[in-house]
Amino acid sequence: MNDLAVGDVAVVEPAGGRSLRGRLRVPGDKSISHRALLVAAWASGTSRLAGLNRGADVSHTLDAVVALGARVRPRGTELLVEGTHGHLREPEAVIEVGNSGTGIRLLAGLVATIDGLCVLQGDGSVARRPMDRVAAPLRLMGARIDGRRGGCYPPLVVRGGGLTGIDYTLPVASAQVKSAILFAGLGAEGRTRVHEVVPVRAHTEEMLAEAGAGIEVRPEGAGSSVTLQPGPLHAISLRVPADPSQAAFWAVAACIVPGSDLVLEDVYVGQARSGFIDVLKRMGARLEVVGRDPERLTADLRVQAGPLVGTSVGGAEVPGLIDEVPVLAVAAALADGTTRFSGAAELRLKESDRLATTVEMLRALGAKAEAQPDGLVVEGSAGAPLDQGIVGSHGDHRIAMAAAVGALAAKGPVHVQGWSSTATSYPSFEEDLRRCLK
């Protein structure tokens, strides 16, 4: 980056002779941070949360739990959250989730426990994201949910209370849907059971267990079933691990910037979050998982620069790397050979249509890429530098940061438009880049 940035544009310079070195702890995991706030808001007692993600998405969830009756105050580096003993209050105003699809979907489940009315709304991107996937099971539990376009799109109007547990098989491989149902299940009559056919991230179950919920996870086919008994939760004390989705940007950057040797510290490597590690290893990356902590489900990742080869990414591994596809596509653009991503139609429903915006980003950098209905085909340059150019992020933080990673391996500066989108999940990305690029 340099100081030429005008307006909402970052100018990212190629690494040149510099490389990524040292140790880096990326921000706290965003998925875990949302859930920690929701669990703490429901719990009895005061939860201590350290290392929460400081992006705008999680800030909105923090404001939401305050609006729902939790009391929040900082103490040193921690946030203390005094819970509501399972009695969230009806909010006095509309709850704003900003850009956060996870925020609105998880909150929809939690506020369905309130005997009252709650309106959830987000920005223009959230307004285009389908909510029927959470509204349908929550309606089966007894919530009344309305929204734009036949109740399918935000703003969502949730009239909750009087819920009954359900037995539900996820029609889409979505941790947000599983989590919304489980949060609603906390306040339902009778048990709630969710069947996941393909494993998706398990943070909600992990944290509910930590908070003393009556929760049981059983293997079932290739996936599992999660059974939750309603009831109180006790306060939690949590140090949020580093976010693997953010670590992935640096892992790819270290692979493609010659001479790099970077250690990413304390990264969450639990269920369905570390697929990018397997993909990069298949691509020949010099990536080692060291210092595993089996209790916190974390590890350090050491990544050194080296040549990459194309691979195929698809099937059951996709939910475990869904947010990492844009930056893996940058790795693919520099690899030797073709990389194919399939089974990833869900990417069309993220902060942007990420199959379209990833292809647009790669082409702006001179790479050859095609979007498919459910994936991408990327022709690698076998290490030849990408082009300088102008990339539109479409307000999508992951496209902006993936473009910045690609810029490090470009012939000249890359202008990333809509750079402020990075504040949704990683406000210190630019600072971390300056610090590690030596």
Give the residue with the Cβ less far from ligand S3P, 398 or 415: 398
Q: Which of 374, 371, 274 is nearest to 324 (CA)?
A: 274
Least spacing, CB of residue 348 vs ligand S3P, in Å:
12
Q: Which of the stretches 134-142, 170-178, 229-237, 383-391 binds ligand S3P when contact is defined by CB under 6 A?
A: 170-178
Per CB under 6 A, 176 contacts ligand S3P: yes
CB 425 within 8 A of CB 28: no
CB 358 within 8 A of CB 376: yes
Instruction: Map residue 164 onto helix, strand or coil.
Output: strand
The strand order across the sheet containing 192-196 reads 167-169, 192-196, 223-229, 214-220
Residues 241-270 that bind ligand S3P (CB under 6 A): none
Q: Which of the stretches 47-55, 148-156, 172-180, 206-214 binds ligand S3P when contact is defined by CB under 6 A?
A: 172-180
- Select which of 29, 266, 323, 432 is catalytic: 323
Task: Choose, by CB under 6 A, the member of 205, 323, 324, 360 that binds ligand S3P.
Answer: 323
Task: Choose, by CB under 6 A, the member of 26, 27, 31, 364 that binds ligand S3P.
Answer: 31
Q: Catalytic annotation on 123?
A: no
CA angle 368, 371, 377 (to 5 degrees): 55
Least spacing, CB of residue 388 vs ligand S3P, in Å:
30
Give the tokens for residue 45.
Answer: 């007692």
Q: Can you tell me the distance from the alpha carbon of 343 to that of 341, in angstroms, rounded to the nearest whole number?
A: 7
Provide the H-helix boundaries in 196-288. 203-210, 244-256, 275-282
Give the tokens for residue 147.
Answer: 């929204």
- Pairing mode of beta strands 389-392, 414-417: parallel
Give the residue with the Cβ less far from ligand S3P, 417 or 424: 424
Give the residue with the Cβ less far from ligand S3P, 102 or 224: 102
CA angle 225, 230, 234 (to 5 degrees): 105
CA atoms within 13 A on the CB side of 46: 9
Per CB under 6 A, 322 contacts ligand S3P: yes
Q: Residue with the closest Cβ to ligand S3P?
A: 31
Task: Choose, by CB under 6 A, the member of 47, 61, 84, 102 that binds ligand S3P.
Answer: 102
Per CB under 6 A, 174 contacts ligand S3P: yes
The strand order across the sheet containing 95-96 reads 95-96, 117-121, 153-159, 144-147
**# residues near ligand S3P by CB under 6 A:** 10
Per-residue binding string, ligand S3P, 331-360, x by CB under 6 A, is: ---------------x--------------
- Pairing mode of beta strands 46-50, 71-75: unpaired
Per CB under 6 A, 415 contacts ligand S3P: no
Contacts to ligand S3P by CB under 6 A: 31, 102, 174-176, 179, 201, 322-323, 346
- Residues catalogued as catalytic: 323
